[in-house]
Structure 1
Amino acid sequence: MTLVEQVVVLLAGIGAGTINTIVGSGTLITFPVLVLLGVPPLTANVSNTVGLVPGAISGTWGYRRELQGQGRRLWWLGGAGLAGGLVGAVALLVAPAGAFDAVVPVLIVLALVAVVAQPRVAERLATRPTTGPPGRPRLVLLVGVFLTGIYGGYFGAAQGVLLLALLGMTIAEDLQRLNATKNLVATLVNGVAAVVFVAVAEVDWRVAVLIAIGSVVGGQVGATVGRRLSPVALRAVIVVVGLLAVVRLVTT
């Protein structure tokens, strides 16, 4: 990997860390960039997951004020996310050779659809009334977080978008507090998947470290000035880069 390519990966990590904190679709920046640079899809997915964990932690810390008072809810949702992430990571590694390469273009397209639909979902969530102190989440939410965790452990693109939509449809709560919850759950999902990948999978550590450095910076950008960035521009970048990756995957 040339110096220019390494800089591109670092910048992609910054963008992904920022977007993950604000919306939750940063993988649709880093993963396509790695594929376009010639990294094999499975290695790119594994290395990307490992690299984005520090940025996810950074973004979660940036939203720590919004997490206050949600302790009981976070224990339940975090546990469901951890279980799902573990299942998804193991499923990725035990699936037949080539299965990920075959399914990933479809996953990217579905994730892009979720990103495009996100503004309408956010608009509806913003009009929901808030509620009192959180308690034990409903079973449907726990199952939904578990299933989303499986997806996140397997691939993870737009996992945050799916989580935020799920939380908003089942919890009457302030959107920023839901976003903080989403960040924490996604961090746990990616974290447990990363542990599995580091233990038994092939990680491109140069890629992972570059993404990690960039995503930590991006996590703080997203938690501070990220809300000022144009959401239209962010989504446009995500869609263009994602479509380029799909074209690269189906033509090679």
Structure 2
Amino acid sequence: MTPGEMAAVFAAGMGAGAVNAVVGSGTLITFPVLLATGLSPVTATVSNGLGLVPGSISAAIGYREELRGQRRRVLLLAIGAALGGLAGAVLLLTLPASAFERIVPVLVSLALVLVACQPLISRWVRRRRPAGGPARRDGGPLLFTGLTLASVYGGYFSAAQGIIYVSLMGVLLEDTLQRLNAVKNVLAAVVNTVAAVLFLFFADFDWTAVLLIAVGSALGGVIGARTGRRFSPAVLRTLIVSVGTVALVNLVLH
């Protein structure tokens, strides 16, 4: 990896860490950069997953105030996230690389649609939530099942998993979006960590890419948690969709 590529991977990791703390879908920033360095799609995904663990943890810590009073909810949903993340990571390691290369363009397309439609999803969630109603504690079996399935997706390919989490919780829980976003960060950290443990022992990855993204995402997670609410959602969304579109075109033409 050349010095220029290393700088690009570090910058992408920082951007992904900040974006994941606020919205999710930071993988759409790091993934195309890793592909541009010459890594295969599977190796890029594994390296990205390992590297983003510190960022997801720092983002969760940064939202600790919003996590107050949610211990029971977080512990319950984290069980489903761990199980789903493990299943997704196993699928990534056991399915042939050719299957991954066929599936990923579809997943990237889905992620881009979710990012682009996020304002519509958020408005729908706000309209559905009755003002002043009592908050549901855990969302019941439907939310647990939905978040577990979303975590399977996250363990396999993490782009926009945070948006799926917030959408599901917004529909099935009555709470503020900031508090739900805090839970999202914890669940993403659980999925990334569980998948990373498996990847360390059974997957091929690029240590240079992992370390660069790890340091960058850790810094980005802190920045995103502290100042991300000041960013324009429209600017972040445009950046993510633009970079993700380049990744999609690169994958299709690869």
Query: TM-score under structure 1 normalisation?
Result: 0.96
Among candidates 161, 168, 190, match of residue 159 of structure 1: 161
**C-alpha separation in 2, matches of 1:33 and 1:131:** 44
TM alignment of 1:66-215, pairs within 5 A: 66-127=66-127, 128=129, 129=131, 132=134, 135-215=137-217
**Structure 1 residue runs of 4 or more that deviate by more than 4 Å after TM superposition:** 130-134
| Alignment-derived partner of residue 11 in structure 1 | 11
- Residue 136 of structure 1 deviates from its aligned partner by 4.1
Distance between the aligned counterparts of 1:193 and 1:141, measured in 2? Answer: 21
Instruction: After TM superposition, give the deviation of residue 226 of structure 1 in Å.
Output: 1.1
Structure 1 unaligned residues grouped into runs of 5+: none
The residue identity in structure 2 corresponding to 1:207 is A
CA separation in 2, counterparts of 1:108 and 1:25? 10
Partners of 1:130 and 1:190 lie apart in 2 by 35
CA offsets 1:23-44 (integer angstroms, 9 cap, x no match): 0110110011111232110000
Distance in 1, Cα, partners of 2:66 & 2:249: 39
Aligned-residue identity in percent: 50
State how 1:19-30 maps to structure 2 within 5 Å.
19-30=19-30
Q: Helix, strand or coil for the counterpart of 1:25? A: coil
**SS of corresponding position for 2:204:** coil
Q: 1:224 aligns with which of 223, 226, 230?
A: 226
Instruction: Give me the whole-angstrom Cα distance separating, in 1, the residues matched to 2:140 and 2:91.
Output: 26
Structure 1 residue 130: Cα displacement: 5.4
* CA deviation after TM superposition for structure 1 residue 199, in Å: 1.1
1:49-74 per-residue CA deviation (whole Å, 9 max, x = no partner) reads: 00000000000000001111111111
Deviation, 1:135, is: 3.2
Q: TM-score, normalised by structure 2?
A: 0.96
Q: Deviations over 1:70-116 (max 9, x none)?
A: 11111110000000000000011111231111111111011000000
Secondary structure of 1:69's partner? coil
Relative to structure 1, is the Cα distance of residues 14 and 130 closer, same or farther in structure 2, using a 3 angstrom cutoff? farther
**Counterparts of 1:130 and 1:55 in 2: how far apart (Å)?**
34
Query: Residues 131 and 179 (structure 1 numbering): CA distance in 2 closer, same or farther, change over 3 Å?
Result: farther
Q: Which ranges in structure 2 are unaligned for 5 or more consecutive residues?
A: none
1:49 aligns to what? 49
Distance 2:83 2:108 in 1: 23
Letter paired with 1:150: V
What letter is aligned with 1:209?
A: L
Secondary structure (helix, strand or coil) at the match of 1:98 reads helix
Q: Distance in 2 between matches of 1:130 and 1:197?
A: 44
Q: Which amino acid aligns with 2:33?
A: V
Q: Name the CA shift for 1:130/1:203 in 2 (closer, same or farther; >3 Å).
A: farther
Letter in 2 for 1:35: L
| 1:43–1:202 CA contact under 8 A, matched in 2 | yes
Contact 1:6 1:210 in 2 (8 A): yes
SS for the counterpart of 1:39 is coil
